[in-house]
Amino acid sequence: MSTATTTTATGTGTGTSGVRSWKNPIILSVVALFCLVVFALGAPGNSVTFRLSEADDAIVLPSLVVSAPIIGWVCTLVMLALAVLAVVRTRAGVRTPTWVPAVFAVLFFIAFLTWVVGSARTPNVALYGLLAGSVTLAVPLIFGSLSGVLCERSGVVNIAIEGQLLFGAFAAAVAASLSGSAFVGLVAAAAAGVLVSLVLAVFSIRYVVNQVIVGVVLNVLVSGLTGFLFSAVLSEDSQRWNSPPRLPVIRIPFLADIPIIGPILFEQTIVGYLMYVAVAVVYVALYHSRWGLRTRAVGEHPKAADTLGVNVNRRRFVNVLLAGVVAGVGGSFFTLVAVSGFGKDMTAGQGYIALAALIFGRWNPIGAFFAALLFGFATNLSNVLSLLGTPVPDQFLRMLPYVVTVFAVAGLVGRSRAPGASGIPYIKG
Amino acid sequence: MSPQEDNRVPPGTGATTPPTRRQARQSDRKDEVRTEKAAETADGALPPPAAAAPEPETASQTLLQRIMTGNALVAFLSVVLSLILGGLLIAVTDPAVGRASSYFFTRPQDTLGAAWSAASNAYIALFQGSVINVRGTSFTSVIYPLTQTLTVATPLICAGLGVALAFRAGLFNIGAQGQILIGATFAAWVGFTLHLPAGLHLLLVVLAGMVGGAIWAGLVGLLKARTGAHEVILTIMFNYIATNLVLYFLSTSAFQRPGSTNPISPQLDGTAVYPLLLGPAFRLHWGFVVAVVATVFVWWLLNRSTIGFELRAVGANASAARTAGISVSKGYILAMAIAGALAGLAGVAQVSGTEKVLTSGVAASFGFDAITVALLGRSSPWGTFAAGILFGAFRAGGVTMQASTGTSIDIVLVVQSLIVLFIAAPPLVRALFRLPVPGAVGKGSTTPRTPASTGAAA
């Protein structure tokens, strides 16, 4: 990323407004004009129904019916106003407040959703299903990006998230099938994640090999290894090796009846609950514990940490192994929750999306959580919309999560900053 | 992934300093380290400094130099070790071995024999499918596997060069897959839509492929230069976008074969495909010659041209390069565009050489294999060329192996990635084989090697 170099070269921090940045106003204006043409002028004439609950739920909410042109115009006009505000502020040399892009993004999102559902053959979508499905799809992403947070905060780049997820999924399937217990599979998944982490740690910390290279190669290695074992062992006798029992869904009474958020928060498998716990634990530990302070110190300025008596490389080693536990458990989602059984390369690049979520979330567990949710939502939306029959070609819908990622990384977090020493090996001396 | 990535040691830079100096420098600003390094090694084209000359692992960048220095042994042992581990994996999963192991303690030789035959049969098939078929009846059938290897190696070399070139500019280009796809799409469109005389048509096809790849990768370079977005994320996302884009194109009337409902394009014109190099008995086409030319070009570009110098300077230390008056943004965009053009050549080699139609699977997994190829080749043009041929052999042989012994071709991925891992960590290989640490007298210790040199080793 050229961020750091740009700022160091110009001698100004990102916080100072010495140089006017026209990037934000330009992006906002272009997007707002795009919305004017597509979402406002091109709005479908009908109304859109968002269903908020199922008919047989304990608490039934009325459906939200909105008019597509009204929503389109209102959102677009506010977005145009925000774009003008950004232009005016930038001209005056004042920084645009951070809430402007945030509100803009939310409005764009509402306008887009209304437009795209309104243009579908059946302008009627179950919002609760859309949200619950997004969280489900986001579970492995969240585990993956938490694994990235643990590694990168201590100064080790973790490209191997994909490999950790895949190996976790594989180990979970095999162990659960052999033992007949999904919980054994869960433990095995964590162990498998640690195994991948161990290789990453040994090569990048002990043998100081470039961390990105180890990560990329590990992903290939895990893909080849699981693929080979899949065709040589698992598919030969899939009854014995590849028919894991699924993790049961644990429903918390009453709380799960809350409309919309009830099923998301209180009707999950143990992996789903572990996800919420993991986000909270990593966040609290990272910012409010001695371990976290030292981890961040090791990731930002290892020399200083070393001077104060922190064993930099041991701390990194331990953190990379912990990251393996987290990512491995996330991998078990694929074979113990989503589908029952391992498939070749079944993680399908989710580890890389988790990496993007980590960067989009600014190396913060909470940020990564919401970024992963956004990607989960984009994926789920494209699935739902292709069923509804929209005018947008199927391929473009499937591109959606990736395009969102590009915009997120390029437009919204272009100036985010990684831990200072991330990717740089530390050699005591 | 960090903004500090510019400070990360790029895979192509070799460091040549003894630990004491290096450690002293570690405390200095990274920038200075980079500047010195860049000045010192210049891709190993310069002879290593006299003081460091006794160290055999110094500044070994090209394959030839590696062989002449002690690292050749490490490379060789890495390959052997990876093949042994792969063989163990084949043996352990072999059903005959499983049956024999049930009475291991009464007749252990059965198990060992079965394990040996499982692994050796697989590797013999791999060899016969990639180098020389000893059971061939005619000269053609004997050397056919070798030409297959070169055919498969062609896109690997082209795309690998692209990845290597981007590495040298400090960019981690994971996006060769998408660049191959878009390049192939451009090339294929020119190939089946325009009807031109022979020669001119092929030339336009090749150019279109390069332009397509260059645009797709250049876009990443532009985004990185303008917004500071991370190129690893961008290239990964662009891969997915490219796959879906090609699928979309193949559903439009401009690309879809008339009368077909499958996502497949019409055949390329006869004037738009590479002529066969060795006659109709072999699949080897002129794309291989183009790959050789591309290798020479990249070598010239990196080591003999101003642009190459600037790219390497940007890769070695972006801040220092900027201070020296080199435009880092231009460097990023240019490096990605050239890398994309090279990947585009790989796409041309596919649509115009072997496949002759455009499908969404035209890039196979060449774009991802290209990354390991460039890593194994240590980002040097000829190293990448050699690594491309090696991996081409694995791939071509793997197909034969899968067909004749039923061993899954995925074992090739395992062996390939193990090779890259081991070569990246020479101290590990030395420790495993109890080799003496080179330069131990001069260094006086067995500390791990410098990050720079091990980074370069990958």
Q: Is residue A398 part of a domain?
A: no
* Contact across the interface for A209 and B454, Cβ inside 8 Å: yes
Burial class (CB in 10 A: 0-12, 13-18, 19+), B151: buried
**What's the CA gap between B67 and A184, in Å, rounded?**
49
Q: Give pLDDT, residue A3.
A: 40
**By C-alpha distance, which of B311, B39, B367 is closest to A220?**
B367
Chain B neighbors of A416, CB-CB under 8 A: 3
Per the structure, the count of domains in chain A is: 2
Q: Give the number of other Cβ atoms within 10 Å of residue B458's Cβ.
A: 27
Q: Is residue A156 part of a domain?
A: yes
Tokens of A176: 């659960």
Taking CA atoms, B235 is separated from A130, B89, B179, in Å, by 29, 33, 9
Q: Is the pLDDT of residue A77 over 60?
A: yes
User: Domain boundary at A68, A95, A119, which?
Assistant: A119
Residues A338-360 have a mean pLDDT of: 86
**By C-alpha distance, which of B458, B366, B182 is closest to A214?**
B458
User: Which residues have C-beta within 8 Å of that of residue A75, sequence separation ≥ 6?
Assistant: A35, A39, A40, A107, A108, A110, A111, A114
Output Rg (C-alpha) for chain A, integer angstroms: 23
Residues A105 and A227 occupy one common structural domain: no
Residues A243 and A287 occupy one common structural domain: yes
Q: Give pLDDT, residue B439.
A: 52
Residues A286 and A173 occupy one common structural domain: yes
Chain A neighbors of B232, CB-CB under 8 A: 159, 212, 355
Interface test with B, best of A149, A157, A196, A210 (most B CBs within 10 A): A210
Q: Is the pLDDT of residue A15 over 60?
A: no
* Cβ-contact A326, A193 below 8 angstroms: yes
Residues A163 and A97 occupy one common structural domain: no
* Cβ-contact B399, A209 below 8 angstroms: no
Answer positive or negative: Cα dihedral of B320, B323, B325, B330: positive
Within chain B, what is the greatest distance between any pair of CA atoms? 75
How many CA atoms are closer than 13 Å to the CA of B107, on its beta-carbon side?
9
DSSP B346-396: HHHIIIIII--S-BTTTTTTHHHHHHHHHHHTTT-HHHHHHHHHHHHHHHH
Chain B neighbors of A216, CB-CB under 8 A: 174, 371-372, 375
Among A206-220, B67-81, B239-253, B372-386, whose mean pLDDT is lowest? B67-81
**What's the CA gap between A195 and B4, in Å, rounded?**
28
pLDDT digits (tens, 9 = 90+) for A302-317: 999 999 888 999 999 9
* Cβ-contact A190, A323 below 8 angstroms: no
Helix axes B176-193, B366-376, angle to 10 degrees: 130
Residues A115 and A139 occupy one common structural domain: no
**What's the CA gap between B335 and A163, in Å, rounded?**
29
Q: Is residue A262 part of a domain?
A: yes
pLDDT digits (tens, 9 = 90+) for B52-74: 334 444 444 455 444 444 567 78
Residues A163 and A273 occupy one common structural domain: yes
Residues A296 and A365 occupy one common structural domain: yes
* Contact across the interface for A213 and B11, Cβ inside 8 Å: yes
User: Domain boundary at A119, A143, A170, which?
Assistant: A119
Q: Give pLDDT, residue B71.
A: 67
Taking CA atoms, A61 is separated from A128, A260, A381, B226, in Å, by 11, 9, 22, 47
Tokens of A112: 């887009």
Is residue B434 very low, low, confident or very high in pLDDT (cuts 50, 70, 90)?
confident
Residues A152-164 have a mean pLDDT of: 91
Residue A156 Ramachandran class (φ > 0 left, ψ -120 to 50 alpha, else beta): beta
Residues A227 and A363 occupy one common structural domain: yes
* Contact across the interface for B241 and A210, Cβ inside 8 Å: no
* Contact across the interface for B248 and A414, Cβ inside 8 Å: no
How many residue contacts between A and B have a Cβ separation below 8 Å?
Answer: 245
Residues A79 and A166 occupy one common structural domain: no
* Parallel/antiparallel/unpaired status of strands A249-251 and A267-269: antiparallel
- pTM of the predicted model over 0.80: yes
pLDDT digits (tens, 9 = 90+) for B160-191: 999 999 999 989 898 999 999 999 999 999 99
Q: Is residue A409 part of a domain?
A: no
Q: Is residue A376 part of a domain?
A: yes
Chain B neighbors of A3, CB-CB under 8 A: 3, 228
Closest residue to A409, CB basis, from B24, B94, B230? B230
Q: Is residue A419 part of a domain?
A: no
* Contact across the interface for B236 and A356, Cβ inside 8 Å: yes
Residues B308-336 have a mean pLDDT of: 91
Q: Which of helix, strand or coil describes residue A418? A: coil
Q: Give pLDDT, residue A227.
A: 92
Q: For chain B, give the percent of residues with pLDDT over 70.
A: 79
Q: Is the pLDDT of residue A388 over 70?
A: yes
Q: Is residue A125 part of a domain?
A: no
Answer positive or negative: Cα dihedral of A203, A205, A210, A216: positive
Residue of chain A whose Cα is closest to the Cα of B30 = A424
Q: What is the ipTM of this complex?
A: 0.81
Q: Give pLDDT, residue B13.
A: 41
Taking CA atoms, A50 is separated from A43, A104, A116, B130, in Å, by 17, 22, 12, 59
**What's the CA gap between A304 and A116, in Å, rounded?**
52
Residues A82 and A176 occupy one common structural domain: no
Domain that holds residue A67: 22-119
Taking CA atoms, B183 is separated from A180, A401, A422, B297, B333, in Å, by 49, 23, 34, 19, 17
**What's the CA gap between A308 and A331, in Å, rounded?**
37
Q: Give the number of other Cβ atoms within 10 Å of residue A426's Cβ.
A: 21
User: Domain boundary at A119, A148, A181, which?
Assistant: A119
Residues A60 and A160 occupy one common structural domain: no
> Where do runs of H (alpha helix) occur along A259-407?
261-266, 270-288, 290-300, 302-307, 312-332, 350-360, 365-388, 394-407
Is residue B32 very low, low, confident or very high in pLDDT (cuts 50, 70, 90)?
very low
Residues A148 and A219 occupy one common structural domain: yes
**What's the CA gap between A335 and A168, in Å, rounded?**
9
Among A187-196, A223-232, A341-350, whose mean pLDDT is lowest? A341-350
Q: Looking at residue A171, which CATH number applies to its domain?
A: 1.10.3470
Minimal CA separation from A360 to chain B, in Å: 10
Q: Is residue A403 part of a domain?
A: no
Q: Mean pLDDT score of chain A, rounded to an integer?
A: 84
